């Protein structure tokens, strides 16, 4: 199945099963936030399209944002815990050993910015799933990680969904 077919089938499902939209947004955001899984699931494109569907189909905006935020926070939490479990040896294992330059950049980013790297990393493509994993590998404290994780997940979900929802609502008036 190609990416376009996956996007089309997901959007058709969302249109048919509108009540499931918050859960679907949460699952997509979760997939987008898991270190390796994010490579295979075009969740960002689908979430932007869901935002447009929310505005165009009159779906409730805030439950969808909440679903996406919870999914993103859970995905980062799983990546963090997996990195914490693997420890520093994770950099020598797949997939991190295949991308040593990107891993080194993400590690430097975390070391320079600390907990702010968790919040900022969510907004930058490949870093979105890599930063939480490396935060765990580097032994970042759980509580500060989770505070940045949950707060940035809420902002990220809003920023991703609001433009489509707002523009289509505005055009419908």
Residue 169 pLDDT level (bands cut at 50, 70, 90): low
pTM value is 0.87
* Closest by CA position to 24, among listed 15, 14, 35: 14
Task: Give the C-alpha distances (Å, rounded to integers) separating 49 from 65, 162, 168.
Answer: 13, 11, 11
Task: For 62-117, write each residue's pLDDT tens digit.
Answer: 999 999 999 999 999 999 999 999 999 888 988 889 888 988 988 999 999 999 99
How far is Cα 159 from Cα 51, in angstroms, rounded to an integer? 10
Residue 149 pLDDT level (bands cut at 50, 70, 90): very high
Query: In sequence order, what DSSP letters do the residues of the chain get, joined into one string?
Result: --HHHHHHHHHHHHHH-GGGHHHHHHHHHHHHHSTTGGGT--HHHHHHHHHHHHHHHT--HHHHHHHHHHHHHHHHHHHHHHHHHHGGGGGGSTTGGG-HHHHHHHHHHHHHHTHHHHHHHTTSTTHHHHHHHHHHHTT--HHHHHHHHHHHHHHHHHHHHHHHHHHHHHHH-
How far is Cα 110 from Cα 94, in angstroms, rounded to an integer? 20
Q: Using an 8 Å Cβ cutoff, are 32 and 126 in contact?
A: no
How far is Cα 63 from Cα 127, in angstroms, rounded to an integer? 26
Task: For 12-49, write each residue's pLDDT tens digit.
Answer: 777 788 889 999 999 999 999 998 787 777 788 888 88
């Amino acid at each position: 199945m190609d990416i376009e077919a996956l996007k089309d089938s997901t959007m058709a499902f969302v249109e048919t099963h509108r009540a499931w939209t918050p859960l679907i947004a949460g699952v997509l955001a979760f997939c987008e936030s898991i270190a390796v899984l994010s490579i295979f699931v075009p969740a960002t494109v689908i979430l932007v399209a869901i935002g447009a569907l929310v505005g165009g189909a009159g779906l409730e905006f805030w439950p969808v944002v909440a679903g996406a935020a919870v999914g993103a926070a859970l995905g980062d939490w799983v990546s963090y815990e997996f990195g914490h479990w693997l420890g520093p040896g994770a950099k020598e294992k797949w997939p991190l050993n295949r991308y040593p330059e990107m891993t080194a950049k993400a590690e430097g980013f975390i070391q320079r910015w600390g907990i702010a790297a968790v919040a900022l990393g969510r907004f930058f493509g490949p870093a979105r799933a890599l930063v939480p994993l490396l935060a765990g590998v580097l032994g970042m404290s759980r509580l500060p990680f989770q505070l940045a994780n949950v707060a940035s997940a809420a902002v990220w979900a809003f920023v991703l969904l609001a433009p489509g929802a707002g523009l289509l609502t505005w055009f419908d008036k």
